[in-house]
Amino acid sequence: MENHRFMFRSIRFLPVLLVALTSVHAQNYDESKVPSYTLPEVLRTVSGKEIKNKNQWEKTRRPEILALFENNIYGQMPRAVDSIRHSVVTEDAQAMSGNATLKEVAIDVFRNKKSVRINLTLFIPNKKSGPVPVFLLINNRPKSNTDPTRQKKSEFWPAEMMIDSGYVVAAFHVSDLAPDDKDNYVNGVLQMYPEQLSADNGMKAIGAWAWGASRVMDYFEKDRAINARKVIVVGHSRGGKASLWAASQDQRFAACVTNCSGNTGAALARRQFGERITKINTTFPHWFSNNYKKFNDKENELPVDQHMLIALIAPRPVYATNASKDLWADPTGTYLALKHAEKVYGLYGKKSGLPATPPGINQSLPKAPMGYHNREGEHDMTNFDWANFIVFAKSF
Ligand code: GTR
């Protein structure tokens, strides 16, 4: 009896509860509902000092912003290793009907009697004069997307197109660094850095993937076929969050492509459009540092916003993309983040050619230092995207 009464009372309150839950978790897709917000000023230090030139930027503000991202969002980037070993596991000079040389390289990193192995796949064009620039993909999708045998081909990594355009095309899979799973992400890089797990500003999965890109860069610096000064790090979505973080903290990357990276990628958090911080931290608690959870539903309290992550890459070129049906990743917020980073490029005399308002669908602007397009279609990375990345890479 008592139980029934309790159930009845609970059922009566169910609609109220449901309304409350949906309003907390409802995602905004309506531009008119974007709240008014003030972005942190990229060219003013926390203590209020105006930054007027690239010297002040590099000495004071850039390190300050980098530390804010480390401590509040992506976590620290540990650098200490005991040793690194590179071994070429496969080499085939007749790949892609003789157009390319396939190399599969095992990158073994050791620390604290633990190790990780990054399995790097790369194709180098056979037609070349001197070291070749590279597109390096942080692959967050199934490994079959980067099939070294080329029996399976995918627009997510159109290796033949890249080779035909004169680039090295390389990829590694995120699971080598940190499995993309909240119960398992520690089984990789974090085994070597257990101190990160107990730190509130400790590295988690996205940090580990970016860390992996830097270890691949260590290898590129040793391979004579590669132009290590022209490595473009590419990622899609969660991989695009990692490509931005990799290029921001490792200045050896010449440029960055961030494809449909959305929340905690290239899109401004304060717009609260599409995915929000609470949602990303709840669905993917293993991506960002513990400290980031303090900003659940508190976008305005963040000492940074994502335009400042792009600014950290300046003066190196950045290309951000969206897809028209992917409002979750906030195309307008992505474009605005690029626009708000422009003034840091300006300190280097680099003028972005991006117009004040976002271009129409499929109207690509693939020109350094800042490229952008909003492709028609779904959340994905396609031949259309890659063809534009090539035009962009040829512009610098
Ligand atoms: C979504 C996530 C996004 C994005 C995407 C992806 O579920 O909410 O932030 O990263 O996954 O990686 O495809």
Which pLDDT belongs to residue 142?
A: 98
State whether the beta carbon of 262 lies less than 6 angstroms from ligand 1. yes
Contact between 249 and 209 (Cβ < 8 Å): no
| CA-264 nearest atom, ligand 1 | 9
Contact between 371 and 313 (Cβ < 8 Å): no
What's the 323 CA to ligand 1 centre distance in angstroms? 13
- Kindly report the pTM of this predicted structure: 0.94
Can you list the domains of the chain with their CATH numbers? 13-80+120-393 (3.40.50.1820)
Distance CA 51, CA 159 (A): 42
Which pLDDT belongs to residue 27?
A: 81
Distance CA 247, CA 252 (A): 8
Which pLDDT belongs to residue 7?
A: 52
State whether the beta carbon of 244 lies less than 6 angstroms from ligand 1. no
DSSP string, 246-315: HHHH-TT--EEEEES--TTTTS-STT--SS-HHHHHHH-TTTS-GGGGGGTT-GGG-S--HHHHHHHHTT
State whether the beta carbon of 121 lies less than 6 angstroms from ligand 1. no
Which pLDDT belongs to residue 19?
A: 47
Which pLDDT belongs to residue 11?
A: 56
Residue 237 annotated among the catalytic residues of the structure? yes
Which pLDDT belongs to residue 48?
A: 98
Contact between 75 and 202 (Cβ < 8 Å): yes
Which pLDDT belongs to residue 4?
A: 52
Distance CA 171, CA 177 (A): 13
Distance CA 278, CA 54 (A): 35
Contact between 346 and 339 (Cβ < 8 Å): no
* Under-50 pLDDT residues of the chain: 1-2, 6, 19-24
Angle, helices 306-313 vs 62-69, to 10°: value is 130
State whether the beta carbon of 332 lies less than 6 angstroms from ligand 1. no
Contact between 366 and 388 (Cβ < 8 Å): yes
Residue 97 annotated among the catalytic residues of the structure? no
Which pLDDT belongs to residue 13?
A: 55
Which pLDDT belongs to residue 2?
A: 43
Backbone phi, then psi, for 337, in 5-degree steps?
A: -60, -40
Catalytic residue among 237, 248, 261, 364: 237
